[in-house]
Amino acid sequence: MESMETLIVYGTRYGASAGTAEEIAAVLRGEGFDVKVVNAKEEKIKDINPYELIVVGSGLQMGKWTGEAEDFLKRFQNDFAQKKMALFASTMKTVSEREGKTDDVEVTRKFALTDKVTKYSLQAIALGFFGGVIDYNKMNFLFRKTLGSIRQQLEKDGFKETSPDVYDIRDMEEIRSWAKD
């Protein structure tokens, strides 16, 4: 079987989407896919023709994708029709899930993924909705103040610091399982 040429493009603020993209790539490579992973901030893709499968993902901040990942969707929206396409978002959903806030999870999923599919007329074969990384070290003062209050909530919900002031709230098994599917 010929390997499927795959492009994974991501936008990240605190590294969660980078790690998630690499995890997805590892699973796909294990399945025999030929995968290129690109940080949209560091590399501008000029041509998506060589790729059969394109996965685009972004972290969310204040409900918005990173500008670079959004620009990628905008720039190639007309070319995606001929491709297999999947989207993923890194969010705070795992916190909401642990707190039983299913409405919050659905609202976030809608604007993180479903609205993108509609906005860019995408035919997505899969939508991945994952937890992210909260890194107080990389946040600006205002955002750190705003999110300061959730630190206690993270601890209460059983999330532990993975390094000082960093909480990785991803479920890697969920990510690997999504990529395999």
Domain of residue 31 covers: 5-180
Q: Rounded to an integer, what is the distance from CA 12 to the centroid of its chain?
A: 8
20 touches 88 (CB < 8 A): yes
- From 4-8, 137-141, 171-175, the region with the lowest mean pLDDT: 137-141
How many CA atoms, within 13 angstroms, populate the side-chain half-sphere of residue 7?
24
40 touches 71 (CB < 8 A): yes
* % of the chain beyond a pLDDT of 70: 99
Average model confidence (pLDDT) across the chain: 93
> What is the CATH number for 139?
3.40.50.360
pLDDT at 83 over 90: yes
- pTM of the shown model: 0.92
Which of 17 and 144 is assigned the larger pLDDT? 17
Counting the structural domains of the chain, the total is 1
| pLDDT value of residue 2 | 64
pLDDT at 122 over 70: yes
Which H or E run includes 99?
none
- Give the β-pairing of 5-11 and 53-59: parallel
What CA–CA distance (Å, rounded) separates 158 from 152? 10
* Helix segments in 67-149, DSSP class H: 67-76, 93-98, 102-109, 115-119, 141-148
Cβ neighbours of 130 (radius 10 Å): 24
Q: Which two tokens stand for residue 60?
A: 């969310």
